[in-house]
Amino acid sequence: MSALCERHCQAKASRLSGETARRLLGEIPGWAIEGETLARSYAFRNFHETMAFVNLVAYIAHREDHHPDLAVSYNLCRVVYQTHSVNGLSENDFICAARIDAADAA
């Protein structure tokens, strides 16, 4: 489990440098930096599993007060984070990504 899971999102986030973002990316395999966003797609066997995952993401987003963009279909969910207040990536994006992965693996 990533050390990012031990942190919580901060209200006053700072934009990360490209170097710091790439270093944090190494802690969350499967995620990719795409321009100014952090993204990952998750595949499932059916709609029920997809929606259970969406609810998990919603729970984490609510607890951390940091919300991703979601694209949901029958057996796929794409999660995209960006800290809009800094117009780029902050540590909050990586914290939530790590929390999703840890909860999904449990």
| Residue in the structure block whose two tokens are 């902050």 | 90
- Per run of 10 residues, the mean pLDDT along the chain (length 106 residues) is 86 95 96 97 97 97 97 98 95 97 81
CATH architecture of residue range(s) 14-105: 2-Layer Sandwich (3.30)
Cα 67 to Cα 47: distance, rounded to the nearest angstrom: 22
pLDDT at 5: 86
List the domain boundaries for the chain.
14-105
pLDDT at 93: 98
Do the strands 76-81 and 69-73 form a parallel or antiparallel pair, or are they unpaired? antiparallel
What is the number of residues in the chain?
Answer: 106
pLDDT at 104: 78
How many CA within 13 A on the CB side of residue 17? 3
pLDDT at 1: 61
Cα 31 to Cα 29: distance, rounded to the nearest angstrom: 6
